[in-house]
Amino acid sequence: MRKSLQTRLTVYFIALVLIPLLIVGAIGTWQTYNSEVPQALESQGEIAKRVAEQVKNFIEGRETELRSLTEINDFSNATRDEQSVLLSNLFSNQTVYEELILTNGQGRELIFLSRLKVVTPEEFDNRTGSEEFDKPKETEATYFSPVSFNEVTGEPYMVVSVPLLDLRSGRLDYVLIAKFRFKSVWDLMGQADLTGGGVVYMTDSNGFVVAHANPSFVLKRAQITPPSENSFATGLSGASSALAVEQLAFEDQTFYILAEQPASEALSLALNNITLTIITTLVAIVVAGFLGALAARQITTPIAELATTAQLISEGDLTRTTHVSNQDEIGALATAFNRMTSQLRDLIGSLELRVTERTKALSSVAEVGIAASTILETDELLQQVVDLTKERFNLYHAHIYLLNEAGDTLVLASGAGAAGRQMVAEGRSIPLDREQSLVARAARERKGVTVNDVTQAPDFLPNPLLPNTRSELAAPMVVGGSLIGVFDVQSDTVGRFTDADIAVQTTLSSQIAVAVQNANQYEETRAALSQSEKLFNASDRLSQATNLQELIKFIVESLDIRAIDRAILGSLAYNDKDELDGMTIVANWSQSAELPSSPVGTHYPKEMLSSLSMFTSAEPLFFSDVLNDEHVDDATRAIAQKVNYRSVAALPIYIGSRRDAIVLLEGQQPHNFTQAETRLLTSLSPQFAAILENRRQFERAQEQAKREAMLNLITQKIQSATSIEAAMKITARELGHALGMKPTAVSLDSSALAGEVMKNKENA
Amino acid sequence: MKNKKFSQKLWAGFTTLILLAMLMSACGNAPEAKTYTIGVVNYLDILQPIYDGFKAGLADLGYVEGENITFIYNGAVAPERSAIEAEIQSLIDQDVDMIYAMGTLPALVAKDLVAGTDMPVLFAPVIDPVGEGVVESIAQPGGNVTGVQNANFSPKGLEWLLKIVPETEIVYVFYHPEDEVSLTVAQPLPDTAKSLGIELVLTTINSVEDALPIVQNLPAGASILIIPTPTLESLAPVKELAVERNIPIGSYEQPADGTLFSYAVDWPSQGRQAARMADQILKGAKPADLPVETADPFFTVNLPIAQKYGIVISDQILNQADTIIR
């Protein structure tokens, strides 16, 4: 369980008050105690002394009384009746005496007065042998007996014996024995001026209580050991008490007067101090607790309210505010808290707005991205992107620059709206190294850049087609680390673009870049496929050619280049040294009779060929416009002017490692040979060579077969001859016919028949 | 609203604690606020002065009837054991804090009925409580019972009769044969009379009416000594007849109404003495630890009666009187 701040503050407050209070209280109580202890003992000591004096006076007064009775009234010389009257008068006047007994010098009782019992003369006894007679007789001094207790009443009594001596002889005439009850002494105890709760009592030498204001202690023979000095000890009541003792002595008898006051009373001031301290402590606890709770409440209530409000806010209720009105630090805290809450609310609201905007932006990005990804035609894609971007992001303008193949210029590829299309049509471009261009800078730095107030940009160049542009953002289009262009958006609002917008547009530009690349790759793939199809179709057509004329024709048709209107196939000839010796046109093609190509059989000597790079180049050559191409040599340019062609492609055909033929494609109009076209033509070169070689071999095989057939025919005719002569004639005729020679002479030499035949052949 | 409730609670707690603290401080010195109930059983109207003294003594000790002490006292019941038993049982049933038994028989009955409980019993007066079996001893009563006894001073009463009327030749003493008190009191008188050299006649009577013919026929020189006989309601007719016949009559019972003198316990004083013991019991003292106290005898001389007899009482005797009725 969480300890509340209020409880802790209250406890601290109470502790703060109590600790010094308890310390002061303890010190005060200790000092009071130390001063009260001797005071209490002294007070009890004075009481004990005072009461002891009273008891002493009382008992000694009895002795004095008895002595006076006998001395003043000439008691010894009085008659028995007179003595009886004197004693009776004393007995009547002093009820303290329970019995008064007069004995003669021998101990014989002469007069016996008793309050409680009837004693007749016949019952008079002899006291000889009793201490109350013997002691005064022996000592001639007053005798005080120990305290005894009445068998019937249980009450204590004491006997005082006074010897009556003859003044002349010193003889013991009488002994007056007085038995008096201690009840009168009890009264002295009861009459003592005692302080609160105190008692005073008297004990005999054995500690038995013989006088006490409460007779019960006497009657039940309560006993206590008198302390040797005044001190705090266990009193007669059994409680710790301030106990003072005063000793009394009557001849042989010793008594103690004890004044006792319970410690709780004797030390009442100290105890009151403790009580006062406790009460003060309690009151202090209450007051401190009250004030502490109040103070803590004043502190914790607003804090609790703050905590509650914070809790509610943490649960999402941002409308909550505290209502703490304290004009103190907590009030300041509450104010700051409310301000913070308000800011938090605004911030979260702003965040939500921004998230919404961002979501919307990302949605737009996604939408644009999806649109971009579904369009495979680059120009259409780019146009779609800028138009959508402008619309979805509520922009003033958007356009895309693509980096040219040289990588040094950003060419405007698409632009939103009419202005954009117009700028595209104008072929606007930005050199990559232009310092003042935001688009170029984004491309160079490969990161999104903004100018949020173009009017403040010193190097901003106003575009008449976009007069309301106030802020601009350019994001690089990068794919795989390669820059392909810049996506540039513009707003007619100052400060329109934030870092978030940069991120969004950069993301979008990346997607556009990917889409563009995909579109490019698609086009390339499609082109490659088309190329392959063309190549396949060309190969197929080429393979179907039955002669070189068809072959050259099929080549032109397979390439399907409209600008090409003429074509020739030149067979290169080499001398014995394997040097180019010349070229003979073996096949040609022309689009129309008005524009004939070089006729078949046209021979070009090596001197002529050597000055023409297109005949000597080991690599295929493509000239878009021979007349305007600086790389074209003058001889070629001259021939081109002569035969009226401007575009030309020269494709050397290799058989083995030797350049065996050249295919020359010519066009009257200039033509930029595409990569596909050059690749297709180049790809056809080996196949063309193979077909050409096959054709040649086929032709050679046909020739060989034709010869062999002729030889077989001659052989058959020769074999059909019936004579050597006939055979010889036939041989000569057939050979001459076969070899196209007339006349043919045939001689027969058996040893050289074969050699003769060969000689004829060679001659032929 | 919440703050208001808190403040109210705070103030309530604060006030409560302050009052508690004040109460605690006050408790240290204030007497116990408990109200005690004392059940009183009496069987003799003449003992009423003891009860009055008892109440006065308690009042002196700070007990105020109706405030911190309540007495359940239905007056003297019939002097029969059954009636006394019923009365005491009723008090026990009411769970009184203490039973005050006035007289020997109520004390004995109360002792029997409270046996086995912790209900204390205080008696006053009882003559010879040890002998009567009310307590085990004077110093250590034991049980639940203690009180104030009356010592038997009847011999001394006889002596005073003879001192005041020395011409007395024969003394008549009336007693009830079934009255334990009168039997106890009368017991030492024959020996005392013998030692004093006087003739004593102990006469059994069952009612006052039985005594009257005897008094009517007493010879000259006869005197009468009245001793307490609770069984008999009142001996006033006897006293009146004795005075009428000029037969000296003394009394060993209070008060000295119609007699020359009385030598007996002063009942109001005895009641006060009992009240002091009651205070100790109510404050927790055990009766077993409270010794039986003894009431002091008082000597009262009734001079108008003496004048009727034509007796002059000497100054020596008057000097010894505690009270002189003039």
Residue A426 within a domain = yes
A437 and A360: one domain?
yes
> Tokens in use for A275?
């009580």
Are B159 and B191 within 8 A, CB to CB?
A: no
Question: What letter would DSSP give residue A573?
Answer: E
Of A152, A177, A202, which residue constitutes the final position of a domain?
A177
Considering only CA atoms, which of B302, B293, B306, B304 is closest in space to residue B323?
B302
Q: Do A92 and B320 touch (CB under 8 A)?
A: yes
| Nearest CA distance, A496 vs chain B (angstrom) | 52
Q: Do B138 and A115 touch (CB under 8 A)?
A: no
User: Which residue in B294, B317, B318 has the most chain A C-beta atoms within 10 A of its own C-beta, making it the best mutation to test that interface?
Assistant: B294
Which stretch of DSSP H or E encloses residue A144? Answer: strand A143-144
B21 touches A at CB < 8 Å: yes
Amino acid present at B257: D
A681 and A728: one domain?
no
Considering only CA atoms, which of B253, B226, B260 is closest in space to residue B50?
B253
A94 and A136: one domain?
yes
Residue A491 within a domain = yes
CA-nearest residue to A289 within chain B is B14
| Nearest CA distance, B10 vs chain A (angstrom) | 7
The CATH number for A682's domain is 3.30.450.40
Q: Do A290 and B14 touch (CB under 8 A)?
A: yes
Residue A485 within a domain = yes
Only one residue has tokens 């006030």, namely: B15
Question: Hey, what long-range contacts does A64-68 have (CB within 8 A, 24 or more apart)?
Answer: A65/A90, A65/A94, A66/A142, A66/A160, A66/A162, A66/A176, A66/A178, A67/A142, A67/A162
Question: What letter would DSSP give residue A178?
Answer: E
CA distance A643 to A612: 14
pLDDT, position B8: 61
Q: Do A286 and B292 touch (CB under 8 A)?
A: no
pLDDT, position A29: 76
pLDDT, position A382: 87
CA-nearest residue to A183 within chain B is B296
| Chain A partners within 8 Å of B20 (Cβ) | 282
| Nearest CA distance, A88 vs chain B (angstrom) | 7
* Residue B130 pLDDT greater than 60, yes or no: yes
pLDDT, position B17: 57
Q: What is the mean pLDDT of residues B157-163?
A: 92
User: Which residue in B11, B316, B317 has the most chain A C-beta atoms within 10 A of its own C-beta, making it the best mutation to test that interface?
Assistant: B316
CA distance B83 to B106: 10
A484 and A439: one domain?
yes
CA distance A434 to A401: 14
CA distance readout (Å), A442 to A383, A413, A482, A490, A502? 21, 16, 13, 14, 11
Q: Do A122 and B320 touch (CB under 8 A)?
A: no
Sheet strand arrangement including B170-175: B199-204, B170-175, B222-226, B249-251, B261-265, B297-302, B323-325
| Nearest CA distance, B3 vs chain A (angstrom) | 9
A694 and A607: one domain?
yes
CA-nearest residue to B195 within chain A is A120
A483 and A519: one domain?
yes
Query: Total structural domains in chain A?
Result: 4
Record the pTM.
0.53
pLDDT, position A2: 53
| Chain A partners within 8 Å of B6 (Cβ) | 297
Nearest CB partner across the interface for A294, out of B10, B297, B322:
B10
User: Which residue in A153, A157, A180, A303 has the most chain B C-beta atoms within 10 A of its own C-beta, making it the best mutation to test that interface?
Assistant: A153
Question: Hey, what long-range contacts does A462-469 have (CB within 8 A, 24 or more apart)?
Answer: A465/A419, A465/A422, A465/A423, A466/A396, A466/A397, A466/A419, A466/A490, A468/A396, A468/A492, A469/A396, A469/A397
A609 and A569: one domain?
yes
> Tokens in use for A255?
């008594």
Are A420 and A400 within 8 A, CB to CB?
A: no
> Tokens in use for B79?
């002097």
CB pairs under 8 A between A and B: 101
| Chain B partners within 8 Å of A282 (Cβ) | 17, 20-21, 24
Which B residues 69-128 touch A at CB under 8 Å? none
B139 touches A at CB < 8 Å: yes
A608 and A726: one domain?
no
| Chain A partners within 8 Å of B322 (Cβ) | 95
Q: How confident is the model at residue B236 (pLDDT cuts 50, 70, 90)?
A: confident
B195 touches A at CB < 8 Å: yes
- List the domain range (segments joined by +) for residue A418: 356-525
CB neighbourhood size of B161 (10 A): 27
Q: Do B294 and A155 touch (CB under 8 A)?
A: yes
Which B residues 211-270 touch A at CB under 8 Å? none
Residue A279 within a domain = no
* Residue B25 pLDDT greater than 90, yes or no: no
Considering only CA atoms, which of B104, B49, B101, B78 is closest in space to residue B257?
B49
Residues whose CB is less than 8 angstroms from the CB of residue A610 and which lie 6 or more positions away in sequence, other chains included: A580, A616
| Nearest CA distance, A219 vs chain B (angstrom) | 6
CA distance A74 to A69: 8
User: Which residue in A119, A219, A297 has the most chain B C-beta atoms within 10 A of its own C-beta, making it the best mutation to test that interface?
Assistant: A219
Of A525, A559, A577, which residue constitutes the final position of a domain?
A525
Are A542 and A680 within 8 A, CB to CB?
A: no
Nearest CB partner across the interface for B319, out of A92, A278, A294:
A92
> Tokens in use for B304?
């108008």
Which stretch of DSSP H or E encloses residue B135? Answer: none
A567 and A677: one domain?
yes
Residue A278 within a domain = no
The CATH number for A69's domain is 3.30.450.20
pLDDT, position B31: 45
pLDDT, position B1: 47
| Nearest CA distance, B219 vs chain A (angstrom) | 26
Nearest CB partner across the interface for B25, out of A92, A117, A275:
A275
Of A177, A210, A234, which residue constitutes the final position of a domain?
A177
To the nearest whole number, what is the mean pLDDT of chain B?
86
Q: Do B294 and A275 touch (CB under 8 A)?
A: no
User: Which residue in B194, B263, B290 has the most chain A C-beta atoms within 10 A of its own C-beta, making it the best mutation to test that interface?
Assistant: B290
CB neighbourhood size of A489 (10 A): 27
Considering only CA atoms, which of A364, A366, A424 is closest in space to residue A394?
A364
A665 and A739: one domain?
no
A719 and A633: one domain?
no
Considering only CA atoms, which of B274, B227, B284, B236 is closest in space to residue B257?
B236
Q: Do B151 and A116 touch (CB under 8 A)?
A: yes
* Cα angle B123, B126, B129; round to 5: 95
Q: Do A219 and B18 touch (CB under 8 A)?
A: no
> Tokens in use for B73?
């006292």
Instruction: Kindly provide the ipTM of the predicted complex, given to two decimals.
Output: 0.77
Burial of B163 (0-12, 13-18, 19+ CB in 10 A): middle
CA-nearest residue to B288 within chain A is A220
Cis peptide before A431 (omega within 30 of 0): no
Task: Give percent of chain B above pLDDT 70.
Answer: 89
CA-nearest residue to B159 within chain A is A118
pLDDT tens per residue, range A365-410: 787 777 777 777 888 888 888 888 888 888 999 999 999 888 899 9
User: Which residue in A7, A95, A216 has the most chain B C-beta atoms within 10 A of its own C-beta, making it the best mutation to test that interface?
Assistant: A216
Amino acid present at B39: G
In this prediction, the residues of chain A whose per-residue pLDDT falls under 70 are 1-3, 459, 741-764
* Complete domains list, chain B, with CATH: 36-150+266-296 (3.40.50.2300), 154-251 (3.40.50.2300)
Residue A476 within a domain = yes
Residue A241 within a domain = no
User: Which residue in B25, B60, B146, B315 has the most chain A C-beta atoms within 10 A of its own C-beta, making it the best mutation to test that interface?
Assistant: B25
CA-nearest residue to B294 within chain A is A153
| Chain A partners within 8 Å of B269 (Cβ) | none
| Nearest CA distance, A124 vs chain B (angstrom) | 12
| Nearest CA distance, A324 vs chain B (angstrom) | 13
pLDDT, position A396: 92
CA distance A475 to A410: 13
Residue A249 within a domain = no
Q: Do B155 and A117 touch (CB under 8 A)?
A: yes
pLDDT tens per residue, range A61-103: 888 888 888 887 778 888 888 888 888 888 877 878 889 999 9
A369 and A500: one domain?
yes
Question: What letter would DSSP give residue B219?
Answer: P
CA distance B174 to B204: 6
Considering only CA atoms, which of A386, A417, A380 is closest in space to residue A401?
A386
